[in-house]
Structures are given as C-alpha cells and as structure tokens.
Amino acid sequence: MKNSLPLIAFVLLVILLGVGLTLDPREVPSPFIGKPAPTFDLPKLYASTDSISVAEMKGKVWLLNVWASWCGACRAEHQVINRLVKNHQIEIIGLNYKDNADQAKQWLQELGNPYASIAVDHDGRTGIDWGVYGVPETFVVDKKGIIRYKNIGPVYQQDVDNTLLPLINQLQQESS
Amino acid sequence: MMTKWIGIALLMLSVQLHAAIEMYQFEQPEHEQLYKKMIDELRCLVCQNQNLSASNAGLAQDLRQQTYEMVSKGQSQQQIVDYMTQRYGDFVLYRPPVKLSTVLLWFGPIIMLLMGLIVLMMSLKKRKQATDEALSEEQQLRMKQLLDKGEK
C-alpha cells in the first residue's frame, strides 16, 4: 500500500496530462453562448446602399458564417455550407470579413452563393464585436436572437450531421 | 569588409520591420502609458503565445487600434478589459481573474510544489531513520552468520 502512492500519483498525473492532450488550445470558448447576438447594421455585398441588421432576423433560426475570399479554410468549408442550405433550407447570413468586394463576388461566382444575404464588415469591427479571431467561424442564433453555438474553423460534413443539424432542428421547435 | 556590408544590410532590414508597426499619437502621456500597458497585457487570439504588442497579425492590429481609440477617449483600464473579455472571454487576458474555472491555473503550481516538498521531506525522513536505527540482536547474529559463511 505504502509503495503504491507514487504509482497513484503518477497515474493521476497521466490522466491530467492526457485530458490536456485532447483539448484544443486554439478553441477559445466563446463568452457569447447563451447571450444575445451582438447587433450590426451593415451594407450588403450586392446592394451596398441597402443594409442588413441582426434585428430583422428575429423569429428565425439562422446562422452567421464569417468568411473572406483570402481565407483558405473558407474555400474548404464552402461546399459543406452550400449543401447545408440546399438540402435543409436554412438561412445563412454571410459576414464578409475584411475583404475586397470585387474579390468576394468573384469568389462566390466561382464557388456558389449559399447566403440569404451577405453583410460587409470591411474594417473588421463587427468581427471584433462577435469575438471573431479566425475565419471561418459559424454562429447558430435562435429565434429569440440568442447565440447558441459557435463553430470555430471550417465546418465539416460531420459537424453538420452531428452537431449543427440536430441543434437547428431542436431550435426550430422552440417558440420565438 | 564584407561583414560590414552584411551588417549594414541587416540593420536596414530591421528598420523595415519596425516600419510595419503603426504609430499612434497620444495627447496625454497617461494615455500612452495605459495603451502600452494594455497591449502588453492583452493576448493575441490568433498567435496565442504573443501579446498584442508583439504580434503583427491582422486581428492584433485591429485590437491595438481599438485599444488606442478607447484610451484616447479617456476610457479606463477596467473599461477596456471589460470590452475585450465581453468579446473574447478571460482568455484574452494574460492575467485572468481568480474564479472557480481558473483556480487550478492560479494555484496548481503552488500545490504541485507543496506536494513535491512533502514527498521530499517524507523520503528524507525515512532515509534518516533507516540509517540511524541500530541492528537488533537477532539481526546482528544473522549478519555474523552470513559474514562467516562468506569467509569460508
């Protein structure tokens, strides 16, 4: 018994460090989960005199997908986003983050435009308001305008199947 | 001669690197002090082991700009910290507040150190006891027997 003390200590340390290995230090927990989505009122990419705001999305479950044409991982996730919209009629607002409008339009022409509308965040201010630190990022907002989930980095098909769709379906059931 | 030219070339490179860092004008020296303090204490989220002042990432530049604007408007350190943690959580601070979720972070090293000291003291004590204890009569007899056996 006496001799097993170091062994127990060692095993505990291994468990502690082992748990540490499974965590991703790049995933900063968002302080916004469960909080109201920060407001924005931004010009649209395709109609710069027209604007889009968070307020007008109230009563709907929607996604905010932060992307830019200079972002390689956005390109990687874009087909997944396209499929999600095509197969499940989900409204996704694009937040075009610190991008050049012409390049952004070019990019969408090439890869397809799944967005219900696209808000232009030219100077990255709205990105800061939403706590964005790396594109792509995807937020799920419920009918009451509360952020319920944040996907950091590219959305993979398995994220859609295992996390996003079940959550969206659940949120659709909730009253607004 | 060659090394001198290389040296001069390197010096010019370093000037160029510094030129990439933005220059801010402060109306009051306290503002500049607060600004410098804040960008040293806020973490760059993209390159996680750098603070805002050391990072040249796009987001770090934006957050420096934001800090500068807030400082220039006369906002306090607490207001800036609140603004940042509201958006990025405690992680943005190099010195996070003591809370339930950060207890291990703050006191873990001290606990580990104390545990190590206890183990060290225990094992030193044990070692001392082991050398101090005289052999019992029975043990001495057995030792003699063994030694005798060896001599044969």
Q: Which residue has the higher pLDDT, B13 or A75?
A: A75
Residue type, A1: M
Classify residue A23: in a domain, yes or no. no
Name the closest residue on chain A to residue B61, using Cα atoms: A124
What pLDDT score was predicted for residue A2? Answer: 62
**Nearest residue, CB atoms, B89 vs list A25, A29, A130:** A29
Classify residue A3: in a domain, yes or no. no
Q: Which residue has the higher pLDDT, B14 or B36?
A: B36
Residue A173 burial (C-beta neighbours within 10 Å; 0-12, 13-18, 19+): exposed
Confirm or reject contact between B80 and chain A (CB < 8 A): no
Name the closest residue on chain B to residue A135, using Cα atoms: B46
> Global pTM?
0.76
Confirm or reject contact between B82 and chain A (CB < 8 A): no
Residue type, A25: P
Average pLDDT over residues B50-59: 88
Average pLDDT over residues B16-30: 72
DSSP string, B62-80: HHHHHHHHHHHTT--HHHH
Classify residue A16: in a domain, yes or no. no
Q: How many domains does chain A have?
A: 1
Confidence of residue B136 (pLDDT cuts 50, 70, 90): confident
- Pairing of β A91-97 and β A117-121: parallel
Cross-strand partners of A28: none
Asked if B91 and A28 come within 8 Å (Cβ–Cβ), the reply is yes
Confidence of residue B152 (pLDDT cuts 50, 70, 90): low
Asked if B89 and A98 come within 8 Å (Cβ–Cβ), the reply is no
Asked if A131 and B58 come within 8 Å (Cβ–Cβ), the reply is no
Classify residue A93: in a domain, yes or no. yes
Asked if B85 and A31 come within 8 Å (Cβ–Cβ), the reply is yes
Asked if A31 and B59 come within 8 Å (Cβ–Cβ), the reply is no
Q: What residues of chain B lie within 8 A of the CB of A123, using their CB?
A: 62
Angle formed by the axes of helices B29-41 and B58-72, to 10°? Answer: 150
- Pairing of β A62-67 and β A91-97: parallel
DSSP string, B19-37: HTS-----SSHHHHHHHHH
What pLDDT score was predicted for residue B13? Answer: 62
What pLDDT score was predicted for residue A15? Answer: 93
CA distance B90 to chain A (A): 9
Residue B128 has pLDDT above 60, yes or no: yes
CB atoms within 10 A of CB A141: 24
What pLDDT score was predicted for residue B5? Answer: 80
Q: What residues of chain A lie within 8 A of the CB of B58, using their CB?
A: 98, 124
Confidence of residue B19 (pLDDT cuts 50, 70, 90): very low
Classify residue A153: in a domain, yes or no. yes
Of the ranges A82-96, B15-29, B133-147, which one carries the lowest mean pLDDT score? B15-29
What pLDDT score was predicted for residue A21? Answer: 87
What pLDDT score was predicted for residue A27? Answer: 75
Q: Which residue has the higher pLDDT, A95 or B2?
A: A95
What pLDDT score was predicted for residue A94? Answer: 96
Interface test with A, best of B43, B47, B55, B59 (most A CBs within 10 A): B59
User: Measured in whole angstroms, how far is the alpha carbon of residue B65 from the centre of its chain?
Assistant: 26
Owner of token pair 């290389």: B6
Average pLDDT over residues B93-102: 86
Interface predicted TM-score of the whole assembly (ipTM), two decimals: 0.80
Classify residue A20: in a domain, yes or no. no
CA distances from A73 to A80, A134, B113 (A): 12, 10, 43
Which residues form the domain of A105?
Answer: 32-173
pLDDT in tens, chain A (176 residues): 567 878 888 899 899 899 888 887 777 778 899 999 999 999 999 988 899 999 999 999 999 999 999 999 999 999 999 999 999 989 999 999 999 999 999 999 999 999 999 999 999 999 999 999 988 999 999 999 999 999 999 999 999 999 999 999 999 998 87
CA distance A138 to chain B (A): 15
CA dist A125 and A117 (Å) reads 19
CA distance B146 to chain A (A): 29
Residue B3 has pLDDT above 70, yes or no: yes
Q: What is the mean pLDDT of chain B?
A: 85
What is the 3-state secondary structure of B129-146? HHHHCCCCHHHHHHHHHH
Classify residue A18: in a domain, yes or no. no
Sign of the CA dihedral running A157, A164, B46, B58: positive
Q: Residue-wise over A45-66: b if at least 16 C-beta within 10 A, else e?
A: beeeeeebebeebeebbbbbbb
What pLDDT score was predicted for residue A101? Answer: 93
Residue type, A81: I
CATH of the domain at A135: 3.40.30.10
Omega cis (within 30) before A43:
no
Residue B122 has pLDDT above 60, yes or no: yes
A80: CB partners within 8 A, 6+ apart: A154, A155, A156, A157, A159, A160
Residue A68 and residue A97 in contact, taking contact as beta carbons nearer than 8 Å: yes
Confirm or reject contact between B86 and chain A (CB < 8 A): yes
CA dist B113 and B54 (Å) reads 31
Asked if A133 and B59 come within 8 Å (Cβ–Cβ), the reply is yes
Residue type, A55: A
User: Measured in whole angstroms, how far is the alpha carbon of residue A112 from the centre of its chain?
Assistant: 19
